[in-house]
Amino acid sequence: MNRTLVSALVLSLAGLAAGSSYAADAATTGKTRDEVRAELFEARRSGDVLADGEIGAKLNEQHPEQYARSSLDQPKTREQVLAELDQARRQGQLAGAGEFGLTVHDRTPLPAPQMAALPKTRADVRAELFEARRKGEVIANGETGATLKELNPARYSRAI
C-alpha cells in the first residue's frame, strides 16, 4: 500500500510540473488555443507544413500543383521580366556565359590560352589511342579509375 501511494504521488507531481511548464509556454507566446489551431489549419491548407521524408521540404514545394498560389506568387508578365532583365544588364548584375556567381563587375580578364605550335591531326590522336590501348594505359572503368594494365598486369607486361 505504501509503495502505491508513493508512485501515485510521484506521478501526480510529474503531471503538475509538466502542466505548469505548458501553461508558462502558452503565457509567453500570448496566443490562445484557437489562434494556434487557426494557424495550423491555414498552414495545412496552404501546404506550408513539412512533408513526410528526409529532405525537409514542405508539401507546397513538393506538390505545387495541389496548392493555390498566394497573391505574392503571381506570375510576372513578359513586360515585367524584360524590364527586370534590362535593369540587370544596365547595372552589370548578369553573369557571363558559363560563369556562376560572378557578375560583370566581379570578373577579371583571363590570360589568353597558349596554343601548341601545331594541333594534332585526327590520325595522330587515333594513333595515340591505339598505342595506349595496346599498352593498357586506358582507364578500365569509371568507378575505380584504374587502368587496364593495373587490373591485368600479366596481360600487358610484354607490351612495352
DSSP-derived secondary structure letter, 135: H
11: in domain: yes
- Do 30 and 65 fall into the same domain? yes
Task: Name the domain count of the chain.
Answer: 3
- Do 93 and 51 fall into the same domain? no
pLDDT, tens digit (0-9, with 9 covering 90-100), for 34-58? 999 999 888 888 888 888 877 778 8
Strand partners, 50: 58
92: in domain: yes
* Separation CA 60–CA 51 (nearest Å): 9
pLDDT of res. 131:
93
Residue 128 pLDDT grade (very low, low, confident, very high; cuts 50, 70, 90):
very high
- Do 15 and 28 fall into the same domain? yes
pLDDT of res. 59:
81
52: in domain: yes
Among residues 117, 138, 142, which one has the least CA distance to residue 128? 138
112: in domain: no
35: in domain: yes
pLDDT, tens digit (0-9, with 9 covering 90-100), for 84-111? 888 888 887 776 665 555 455 555 555 5
Average pLDDT along the chain: 75
- Do 43 and 20 fall into the same domain? yes
Of the candidate ranges 19-23, 115-119, 134-138, the one whose mean pLDDT is the lowest = 19-23
- Do 11 and 53 fall into the same domain? yes
- Do 127 and 67 fall into the same domain? no
98: in domain: yes
In DSSP notation, 9-51 reads HHHHHHHHHHHHHHHHHHHHHT--HHHHHHHHHHHHHHT-SBP
Q: Cell triple for residue 158?
A: 610484354
- Do 68 and 90 fall into the same domain? no
pLDDT of res. 152:
86
- Do 126 and 145 fall into the same domain? yes
* Sequence-distant (≥ 6) Cβ neighbours of residue 67 within 8 angstroms: 46, 47, 59, 60
pLDDT of res. 90:
83
- Do 36 and 68 fall into the same domain? yes
Q: 101: domain range?
A: 76-106
51: in domain: yes
* Separation CA 9–CA 87 (nearest Å): 72
pLDDT of res. 65:
80
- Do 6 and 54 fall into the same domain? yes
pLDDT of res. 123:
93
pLDDT of res. 130:
93
111: in domain: no
pLDDT of res. 127:
95
- Do 62 and 43 fall into the same domain? yes
* Separation CA 122–CA 71 (nearest Å): 59
